[in-house]
Chain A
Amino acid sequence: MSATFIGMPGNFPQNAAKAVQNSQLRYNLRKATHTIRGKRANVVNELPDWQELRAAGKAIKDDTLRHLDRYLVQMEEAVTRAGGHVHWARDADEANRIVTRLVQATGESEVVKVKSMATQEIGLNEALAAQGITAYETDLAELIVQLGDDFPSHILVPAIHRNRAEIREIFLDKMRPVPADLTDEPRALAEAARLHLRERFLKSKVAVSGANFMIAETGTLVVLESEGNGRMCLTLPETLISVVGIEKLLPSWRDLEVFMQLLPRSSTGERMNPYTSMWTGSTEGQDFHLVLLDNGRTNVLADEVGRQALRCIRCSACLNVCPVYERAGGHAYGSVYPGPIGAILTPQLRGMSSELDASLPYASSLCGACYEVCPVAIDIPEVLVDLRAKVHHAPAERAGMRVAGWILNDEVRLSKAQRLASRFRKVVPKRLPGPLSAWTDTRDLPEIPEESFRDWWERNERA
């Protein structure tokens, strides 16, 4: 059973410091992120209207968020009209209680799952397990994570931190049935998982999913996946329960066209998505429940700068280009949402009261690569900087920054500080003490000049 991130100790710098020492992780992440990064760049660059598509995606999502109240009610009416049942969940606990109750009502004790970020966000598998219900992940990477009793480390490819040799070991150790002669060939690994999963699909009476999009106009849910496991879960079981964040709405069918271009190219680097399932309400003999999840989203919506994070379509393009993610890995972020989007989403959804969550807005060099690739133009650096202004700063840092601000806000004070530094230039130690050792542990200091530029100017130009 994969564990939940909620209440994870530590902070990002500490977690990342451990991760950068892990040579296997560094190698796996570098290889995987650079491969997807290249694929994405190829299929994005071939579209002459990519920037227009991106602008359209942003505009549609902004309109949705502006009128979310209206679209949500429209969605509820459309789903109900089509024979589905709609439930509203304020937070994770409420959503978990609703799903548990719905599963219990079927009399089943097992569910199959389509890959879903929302159910991971709320820790649904753990909540179900506490009530004696076992949830089986059917996405290959999620299966690897679940069998390995591990945390996901990427939105699109949750087992990105694992290579095929490690996956083979996990399968041999935990998966049943498993071929005794299993090799680490990708085809053999996929075939073994397929054999294992096929039994589950045929046996299970209840499935749990999320959704990539919900169309308010028709009440249709849309799931994009690459393995075909999704359509098994969405069609075979008698009961389908979908847990979907309220921001996943699109106003109309026409809007979907934009996202069917933006999402596959940004996430898997494909021109077209392999398996796209769409359903509206319930079919005869089958039950459909939609759980609309808030879990902090309304608070994010209230923030003028931060609300753009709700445009996110979970493509992971920002993770794959992020130099920090590439070296720190997904686990360092302590959330199902790692990488740049996680660094702005997690602190907004969970608040910044824990040490870990307060460190996330600083998990970026503000290089801007994430903003450049985001298919819905979320200005991640802008939100990071805004969140940094809201974090509770450590008293020592605050004092230091105040002094620096005081010196810098007056040219005479600045000049005096520069002259003081120049006077002691020969006795500055090679290794600095305290927090400044963070610089000199790995880098030499620049030599302090004999005189500042302004003193040189005064001497030469004012004479």
Chain B
Amino acid sequence: MRVALFITCVNDTLFPGTGKAVVSLLRRLGCEVDFPTAQTCCGQMHVNTGYRQEGVRLARRFTEVFAGYDAVVAPSGSCAAMVREQYPKLVRPGSRGAAAIAEVTPKVYELSEFLLDVLKVDDVGAYFPHRVTYHPTCHSLRGLHLGDRPTRLLQNVRGLELVPLPAADECCGFGGTFSVKNPAVSAAMGADKARSVLDTGAEVLCAADNSCLMHIGGTLSRQRTGVRIMHLAEILASTEASSQGGDAQ
């Protein structure tokens, strides 16, 4: 199966380890992975901050770059939700843009969806001997309705102890530009989320979105809690061999 990796601009720029993890994981599962280098950003930041024109330009680029692939896999619930849920609202129904969007969006998957729904794998053969808690990010929970897909995958990771996160379905307070436009409320939400994470006694906080993890992790780090953040892909890519080599990142 010919799979295109949609890395997302945040991962590309700040979290390349997540992209590498997706590549190694998908290859391990027998996929041929391509990275169309003309890709940049889905346009979510611009659209959701009120800059529709810039956002639409980026959406158009996305549909052109990813046309023709069997599947497009994104290690981000938020960016996948942007493409699937919001792209159709950016164009006039019946227009050429609408047709292009209708063509590409059904093939766009968040990583755990692709693993479980397309590859039909719930045990990816990973090994990660740590205490982990999982935060379901809002767009993966209420946008894509990922349900228990990510935790099913985590439960099958050897050595991994999955501890439930209290008030897991509450937003962490990132919200894209919300984090800097409403910093006080964002930080207050982040503080409560960090406390929930600490209550679990987990070493690692895992999620399907590095943007939310960047916010919660930045809060945890500022408080010197010693809890580390890891994208779902990085845990699923970990094997006995890689764990002996130290941190996957």
Contacts and interface: CB of A to CB of B under 8 A. Distances in A.
- Do these two chains really belong together in a complex? yes
Nearest to B43: A408
A364 B184 contact: no
B142 A369 contact: yes
A27 interface: no
Given A391-B50, A451-B16, A453-B16, A13 B58 contact: no
Chain B CB within 10 Å — which of A361, A362, A366, A368 has the most? A366
Interface string B54-96: 1101100100000000000000000000000010010000000
A382 B88 CA distance: 12
Nearest to B47: A385
Given A393-B51, A414-B41, 12 more contacts: A20-B184, A323-B171, A365-B138, A365-B189, A388-B50, A391-B50, A405-B46, A410-B40, A443-B190, A446-B15, A446-B217, A456-B19
A367 B40 contact: no
B222 interface: yes
Interface of A: 12-13, 16-17, 20, 26, 323-324, 327-328, 361-369, 371-372, 382, 385, 387-391, 393, 398, 401-402, 404-405, 408-411, 414, 418, 421, 435-436, 438-439, 441-446, 448-449, 451-454, 456-458, 461
Contact of B138 (A328, A361, A367, A390): A367
A405 B58 contact: yes
B243 interface: no
B188 interface: yes
Contacts of B99: none
B9 A12 contact: no
Contacts of B55: 405
B200 interface: no
Interface residues of B, number: 66
A453 B19 contact: yes
B15 A362 contact: no
B12 interface: yes
Given A449-B16, A453-B7, A456-B16, A439 B142 contact: no
Contact of B188 (A20, A438, A461): A20
Given A442-B187, A453-B16, A16 B182 contact: yes
Given A362-B182, A443-B215, A327 B188 contact: yes
Q: What is the interface of chain A mostly: helix, strand, loop, or mixed?
A: helix
Contact of A12 (B12, B51, B182): B182
Interface string B143-167: 1000000000000000000000000
B100 interface: no
Interface stretch (B114-122, B124-132, B172-180, B234-242): B172-180
A323 B218 contact: no
Chain A CB within 10 Å — which of B48, B52, B169, B183 has the most? B183
A366 B173 contact: no
B50 A389 contact: yes
A365 B171 contact: yes
B192 to A, nearest CB: 8
A409 B58 contact: yes
Contacts of A327: 185, 188-189
Contacts of B190: 442-443
A365 B174 contact: yes
Interface in B15-56: 15-17, 19-20, 35, 37-41, 43, 45-52, 54-55
A343 to B, nearest CB: 11
B234 to A, nearest CB: 13
Contacts of B219: 442-443
Nearest to B224: A444
Contact of B51 (A401, A409, A439, A456): A401
A364 B179 contact: no
Interface in B172-219: 173-191, 214-215, 217-219
Contacts of A453: 7, 11-13, 15-16, 19-20
Contacts of A398: 51
